[in-house]
Amino acid sequence: MKQEDMMINLENVSMRFNLGIEKGFSLKQGFINMFDPKKRKAKKELKKKNEFWALKDVSFKIKRGEVVGFIGSNGAGKSTLLKVVAGVMKPTKGKVNAYGNICPMIELGAGFDPQLTARENIYLDGAVMGYSKELIDSKFDEIVDFAELRDFLDVPVQNFSSGMVARLAFSIATIVEPEILIVDEILSVGDIAFQAKSEAKMMDMIMGGTTVLYVSHTLESIKKLCDKVVWLDHGKIRKIGGKELCDEYFKECNI
Partner 1 sequence: MKNIIYSIKKYKFLLFQLVSRDFKVKYKRSVLGIIWSLLYPLLTMSVLALVFTQMFRMSNNPDVNYLVYLMSGLVIFNYFSEASNLAMSSVVGNFSLINKVYIPKYIFPLSKCLFVGINFLLTLIPLYAIIFLTGTGININHLLLPFAFICLFMFTLGVGFILSTISVFLRDMFYIYGVVITLLMYMTPIMYDLSIVPENLQLLFKFNPLYWFIYFSRDIILYNQIPAINVWIYCLIFGLGTLLIGMFVFKKNQDKFIYYV
Q: Which is nearer to partner 1, 36 or 132 (CB)?
A: 132
- Binding positions for partner 1, 9-48, rule CB under 8 A: 17-18
Q: Which is nearer to partner 1, 130 or 208 (CB)?
A: 130
Task: Verify binding: residue 127, partner 1, rule CB under 8 A.
Answer: yes
Task: Verify binding: residue 110, partner 1, rule CB under 8 A.
Answer: yes
Judged by CB under 8 A, which stretch of 67-75, 102-110, 206-214, 239-247 contacts partner 1? 102-110
Q: What are phi and psi of 233, to 5 degrees?
A: -145, 115
What value does the CA radius of gyration of the chain take, rounded to a whole number of Å? 22
- Binding positions for partner 1, 74-93, rule CB under 8 A: 86-90
CA distances for 98 relative to 85, 95, 132, angstroms: 7, 10, 21
Find the shortest distance in angstroms from Cβ 152 to partner 1. Answer: 17
Find the shortest distance in angstroms from Cβ 215 to partner 1. Answer: 15
Q: Which is nearer to partner 1, 180 or 229 (CB)?
A: 180
Q: Which is nearer to partner 1, 130 or 209 (CB)?
A: 130
Q: How far apart are CA 139 and CA 119, in angstroms?
A: 12
Task: Verify binding: residue 137, partner 1, rule CB under 8 A.
Answer: no
Q: In this structure, are residues 67 and 227 in contact, taking their beta carbons and an 8 Å threshold?
A: yes
Q: In this structure, are residues 161 and 192 in contact, taking their beta carbons and an 8 Å threshold?
A: no
Q: Which is nearer to partner 1, 78 or 197 (CB)?
A: 78
Task: Verify binding: residue 130, partner 1, rule CB under 8 A.
Answer: yes
Task: Verify binding: residue 128, partner 1, rule CB under 8 A.
Answer: yes
Q: Which is nearer to partner 1, 12 or 242 (CB)?
A: 12
Task: Verify binding: residue 162, partner 1, rule CB under 8 A.
Answer: no
Q: Which is nearer to partner 1, 41 or 44 (CB)?
A: 44
Find the shortest distance in angstroms from Cβ 249 to partner 1. Answer: 28
Find the shortest distance in angstroms from Cβ 84 to partner 1. Answer: 11
Task: Verify binding: residue 123, partner 1, rule CB under 8 A.
Answer: yes
| Beta-sheet strand order (sheet of 6-18) | 51-63, 6-18, 93-98
Task: Verify binding: residue 225, partner 1, rule CB under 8 A.
Answer: no
Strand pairing category for 211-215 and 67-71 = parallel
**Site for partner 1, rule CB under 8 A:** 17-18, 86-90, 104, 106-107, 110-111, 113, 115-116, 120, 123-124, 127-133
